[in-house]
Amino acid sequence: MPLDPAAQRFLAMMAAAASEGRSPSTLGERRQAFAKMMRLARADVAAVTGVDGVMPGPAGDLPYRLYAPADDVTELLPGFVYFHGGGMVGGSIESHDLVAAALAQVTGCRLVSVGYRLAPEHRYPAAVEDAIAATKWVSEQARWLGIDAQRLVVGGDSAGATLAAIICQEALRSGGPAIAAQCLICPVLDFEETSPSRAEFAENHLLDSATLEADLALYLPEGVERGDPRVSPLRAVKFAGLPAAIIHTAEFDPMRDEGNAYAAKLVAAGVAVEHTCHDGMIHNFQAMGAILPQGRLVLHQIGEQVRRAVG
C-alpha cells in the first residue's frame, strides 16, 4: 500500500524543517524534539492513576511510574513492565507518559514504566542491566505492586522493544523470572546487517540511517560486537521456549524487516505469535494518535491481545 497521507504530510513537514536548517543538531536538542513529538500521542481512554517511585538498580536507584487502570478494583492484576523508546540515547518516563497510560488502560494491567540509564552518559550494557534488574524486581515485588507475578508482560517500543526482547532471552537462559508474554512495538532488533527496509527507508522516513548510526556509536563502547544478541536480539541462537509474542511493525519503517524476521523465527521455533505489519505506517506511529488514526487503533488492538495473553 502507499504511504498513509497523514504520515506523508508529517514526514514532509520534517523534511522541510531539515532543509531550512531547523532540525535539532545536538543530542540535547534531539532529546527535546523527541519529547515534543511524543506529545502527539492520543490515548482516547479514561484517566489512569500514576504513582512515581524508585527501585534498586545495578548502579543505584532507578525511577519508575506505576500506572493502574481507571476501573481498577481488583487486588491483583496482570503486570506490564514497559520500556520507552529513544534509541538508547533519549526518551524518558515523562516523554512516554501518554502511551504508557493508554497501555495500562487498554490492557487492564498495572504497568510499570522504567527509567533506565541512557547513553552516552551510560553506555552499553547499562540499559540492558537496568532492564533485567527492573524486571526481576517487579516479579519479586509483584504482590506489593498489586501484580500477579504469573501474568507478567514485558514490552516496549523501538529501543524499548529491543530491551524487552533481550530480557525474554535472558530469562530463558537463566530460568526466570516468569514472563507470560512479550509485546514489541516497532522493535529494533538487528544492527549486524542492513536489511532491505533499512536501505529503502534510509532517509526521510522519521529515522534516517545517519541518526541510527550516530545513536549506536554513542551507545556501544569500542570492541562490542553488533551481532551480540544483547545488542541485536535477532542474532540469538535459541528461540524455542520464549514467551508468547505480540509484535507490531510498520510498512514504511526502516526496522520493518527485522521485526518481521523476528516474528518468523519465533513462529518457526513453536512460539505463539500475534504479528501485524501495519500498512502505510511509519516508525513510532503508535505514539502519533493525534495525527494518525491508526496510532490510536493499534493501542486498542494491543490491549485486546495482551488481555488474551494473560487471561
Q: Which three cell numbers stand for residue 124?
A: 552499553
Catalytic residue among 84, 205, 248, 283: 283
Give the number of other CB atoms < 10 A from CB of residue 8: 14
Q: Please state whether beta strands 49-57 and 60-68 pair in parallel, antiparallel, or not at all (unpaired).
A: antiparallel
Contacts of 187 (CB under 8 A, 6+ apart): 157, 158, 161, 162, 164, 165, 247, 249, 255, 258, 259, 262
| Active-site annotation holds for 157 | no
CA distances from 229 to 125, 190, 234 (A): 12, 9, 7
Round to whole Å and give the CA distance between 122 and 205: 28
CA distance 117 to 212: 18
Which of 158, 195, 197, 232 is an active site residue? 158
- 283 assigned to active site: yes
Report the candidate in 249, 251, 254 with the shortest Cα–Cα distance to residue 204: 254
The answer to whether residues 129 and 97 touch, using CB atoms and an 8 Å cutoff, is no
Q: Is 253 a catalytic residue?
A: yes
Which residue among the candidates 97, 157, 215, 253 is catalytic per the annotation? 253
Among the listed residues 306, 61, 286, the one whose alpha carbon sits nearest the alpha carbon of residue 157: 286
With CA atoms as reference, report the closest residue to 37 among 280, 290, 248: 290
Task: List the catalytic residues.
Answer: 158, 253, 283
